Structure 1
Amino acid sequence: MLPHVPQPQPSPPTPALAITAYTATTALGRGRDAQASALRDRRGGLRRNDFGDGAVGDQRLDCWIGRVGGLEDAALPAEHARWECRNNRLAWLALQQDGMAAQVADLCTRYRPERVAVVLGTSTASIGATEEAYARLTPDGAFPPDLDRPIVHTVHSLGHFVQHVTGLRGPCATVATACSSSAKVFAQAARLIGAGFVDAALVGGVDTLCGSVLFGFNSLGLVSSAPCRPFDAGRDGLSLGEAGGFAIVERAGPGHAGLRLCGHGESSDAHHMSTPHPEGLGAQMAMQAALARAGIDAADVGYLNLHGTATPANDAVEARAVAALFPDTLHASSTKGWTGHTLGAAGIVESVFALIALEDGLLPGTLNSHAPDPACGAQIRFDNAPSGTLRYAMNNSFGFGGNNCSLVFGRA
């Protein structure tokens, strides 16, 4: 039996916020429809590692990655050249999809730019540019002239860049809580709107492949040499990916009948730097808090997008936590077999997948996985399924250090 889980004490159910636009760009393609069609067709975006030099010495890491195609040729417009780096390229590319740039411009018209926040998540930001700068130090130990731009050698490069190109002038924050980063942006935006600081927020996240990511995770023994298989009995590690995505969150006006952010839950169990609590206590507390803020029961959730990294320990812990809270009828799955683990962008990407489930009625399964782990509950599904009537969908994002976040989305 699981030990007693302390019950969170959130405020009473909070008013839902409207999600008026959303988009994602991943290894599956650019924009919402590319994601939806790949999920529907069970067409994954993972490929054998072909990223950049991708090697230490002459050795290329033997793994599969979720690389965004064409990014190497998608330079920023000349007027934004001082922000040039892979991460900001992907941020710019994602902003051009699904009419997001026009929607942001409309925010500036409906609200003053000072009343719209920018809250973005990342884990490594533009560290790839910093790696390149150190690899190309001049003989006197300085950064090469083309990379002597302090503005890209900081985690806040992403937030600074997006605020600049959108013209938004409200509070601007870059959240870096590892793999929960761009899920926690929804919670931070909800607090800013609830406190009256702003009327709306552009939220999202971007993370791109770099040496620190590939070789850092490999040094922890967490990277598989095959496409990842979340919750499969034979899973042996993750596949890394990159992605960018955005959503607009604002006060729900009278009669709003669209998508909503209904609840968020956060916890920080700090059990270990890279390993979750063995009984998933922090994960349970985050999920419980999200359900409480949404004012719903666990049985009301029709779809749960799991963090599901395909590492042996993490999947078992999350499955245990889910089984402790949800009935067997829940359809829960990991979509990292499609995109890879996009780290600081996983929260926004998998929130987009939850929103697609609400709009399109598609419950994605778990790609690449075939042999269910007997330790996992009946909630873990490998096959796609139609949703019937889906009122609420949920997303889990759990990061190193016990930085956990769960989100509940719904239809008005």
Structure 2
Amino acid sequence: MNMPEIAVTGLGMLTPAGIGAEATWTGVLDGKSTAATSDRLAGLPVEFCCSLPPFDPADTLGRRTAHRLDRSSQLAVIAAQEALRDAGLDPATWDGARVGVVIGCGVGASHTWETQGRRLQEFGPRRVSPLLLPMIGPSTPAGEVALAYGAQGPSLTTGTACASGATAIVIARDLLTSRQCDVVIAGGTEACNTPLIVTGLAQLGALSGRCDDPASASRPFDAARDGFVLGEAAAVLILERAEDSIARRHRPRALLAGCGSSTDAYHPTTPHPEGRGIETAMRTALTDAGLHASDIGYVNAHGTSTRLNDTVEAHTLHNVLPHGPYVTSTKGVLGHSLGATGAVEAALTVLSIRHALIPPTANLETPDQDIELNLITRTAVKQRVSAALSNSFGFGGHNVVLAFHSP
């Protein structure tokens, strides 16, 4: 039996570039970094990050629901609402048993962990919230999305570090091709711009130390890159079988053509120096999609702005795609949102296909001389893209590559 085509029918995003998919897309096309000094990080080795623009989650969720959710869950539920609206789906009218939820999260409820931990230390156990465990469980974002929209099919959390959001999309595809679900709400969320997480990443040497100029700190593939900038975000994609989307007269934004996953099994935080796992994931995605390397016109790279990761990814891209498709990293604008980033970048790849526009890489002024890529800098490029890849890699050696093509 032929595998059904999988359609992306709706998008929802909250990122440092804007609240909503349209605002995020506009900000990414503008190509200006969102990194800035944060008061809550004052006195730490790194005092800046990429934060969401000010907004009140209670405006969407209601005061009571917003109060009982960690920020990561708040963002997931709000992004899902936008994505469902974009897909033209009304949860009040669907068969909830046929709707699944898969949400990736790399770190989890750090806001709640840190806030409640301080309460315990400073004021004693009576000041710890009775909602602590429901707020911090790794399954909570997926469960809260399911609760909010009556999705009674499988509800899953993926945890593959910085590839978590992309892994969620892979699992969603499997639920649809196996016909366990007719609709899957899939994506990633992360909100860990908190003192403990920032300190841990700084101690690891992963973060840029440009405290005197945060706006220029995230510079993927640039010769002067010195680490990534932590961000927060959520992105949700609505996935359906293309035949079902067509039947309800809703044109897909793009088609999820193929997926490739692998594990380096090399080092807890460092990628394989020859990019073997990355190459396996890329080639698997191409084969799964029935695409040749030369079919790829654009790659939304993982591009973290760290020395080794960018070099390894660039060399692997050059080996697998020697024809030189356009390459960009949107982390120059948005920072690195860990478990959410794979879903954010998948959504942005879909928008590139939909609008025939490739966004620039912020702060890419002098490309590393060891990197041979067709990098987009300064301004967006108008270019019809029939097929594209979105790369996501994470601590633990997790590699996920998603292949999309135009509907």
TM-score of the superposed pair, with normalisation by structure 1 = 0.89
Contact 1:327–1:379 under 8 Å retained in 2 = no
Q: Which amino acid is the alignment partner of residue 7 of structure 2?
A: A
Distance 1:382 1:278 in 2: 26
1:46 pairs, out of 28, 32, 35, with: 35
Report how many aligned residue pairs link the two structures.
394
Q: Which moved more, 1:346-355 or 1:149-158?
A: 149-158
Structure 1 match to 2:259: 264
Letter of the 2:159 counterpart: A
Structure 1: 5+ residue stretches without partners: 1-11
- 1:67 matched to 2:57? The reply is no
Q: What residue number does 1:224 align with?
A: 208
Deviation at 1:292, TM superposition (A): 0.6
Would the aligned equivalents of 1:231 and 1:308 in 2 still touch at CA under 8 Å?
A: yes
1:35 partner letter:
T
Residues 18 and 251 in structure 1, CA contact (< 8 A), matched pair in contact too:
yes
Secondary structure of 1:60's aligned partner: coil
Equivalent residue for 2:383, pick from 372, 388, 398 = 388
Q: Does 1:31 align with 2:16?
A: no
Q: How far does residue 105 in structure 1 lie from its aligned partner after superposition?
A: 4.9
Aligned: 1:21 with 2:10? yes
List per-residue Cα deviations over 1:214-258 (Å, max 9, x = no partner): 111111111112321111111101100000111110111178453
Hey, which bits of structure 1, 4+ residues long, moved more than 6 A?
Answer: none
1:204 counterpart (187, 198, 216): 187
Q: Where do 1:23-172 residues align within 5 Å?
A: 23-50=12-39, 53-55=40-42, 59-71=43-55, 74=58, 76-80=61-65, 83-97=68-82, 100-101=84-85, 103=87, 105-106=89-90, 109-110=93-94, 112-137=95-120, 141-142=124-125, 144-146=127-129, 148-172=131-155
Which range moves more in the overlay, 78-87 or 394-403? 78-87
Return closer, same or farther for 1:191/1:96 CA change in 2, 3 Å cut-off: closer
Contact 2:73 2:144 in 1 (8 A): yes
- Residue 193 of structure 1: SS of its match in structure 2? helix
Deviation sequence 1:261-288 (CA, Å, 0-9, x none): 1111000122100000001100011111
Q: Which moved more, 1:101-110 or 1:197-206?
A: 101-110
Report the alpha carbon displacement of residue 187 of structure 1 after superposing the two structures with TM: 0.8
AA aligned to 1:29 is G
CA distance in 1, matches of 2:245, 2:146: 30
Whole-Å Cα distance in 2 between the matches of residues 34 and 194 of structure 1?
32
Kept in 2: contact 1:232–1:370 (CA 8 A): yes
**8 Å contact from structure 1 (residues 298, 326) kept in 2:** yes
CA contact (8 A) 1:328 1:377 kept: no
Alignment-derived partner of residue 214 in structure 2: none
Report what 1:251 is aligned to. 241
Larger CA deviation: 147-156 vs 286-295:
147-156
Distance (whole Å) between structure 2 residues aligned to residue 138 and residue 275 of structure 1: 35
Shift of 1:389: 2.5
C-alpha RMSD over aligned residues:
2.3
Name the CA distance, whole Å, in 2 between partners of 1:276 and 1:83: 38
Q: CA deviation at 1:210?
A: 2.2
Is residue 2:232 matched to residue 1:242? yes
Q: TM-score normalised to the size of structure 2?
A: 0.90
Check the 8 A contact 1:117/1:198 in 2, yes or no: yes
Give the conservation status (yes or no) of the 8 Å contact 1:83–1:161.
Answer: no
Determine if contact 2:7/2:240 at 8 Å carries over to the other structure. Answer: yes
CA distance in 1, matches of 2:297, 2:255: 15
- Does the Cα contact within 8 Å between 2:29 and 2:360 map onto a contact in 1? no
2:312 to 313, 317, 335: 317
* Identity of matched residues, %: 33
Cα deviation 1:56-115 (Å, max 9, x = unaligned): xxx234343110122567474244256322222222332343x635748525634x1011
Instruction: Check 1:249–1:135 CA distance in 2 against 1; reply closer, same or farther (3 A cut).
Output: same
Any unmatched runs of 5+ in structure 2? 211-216
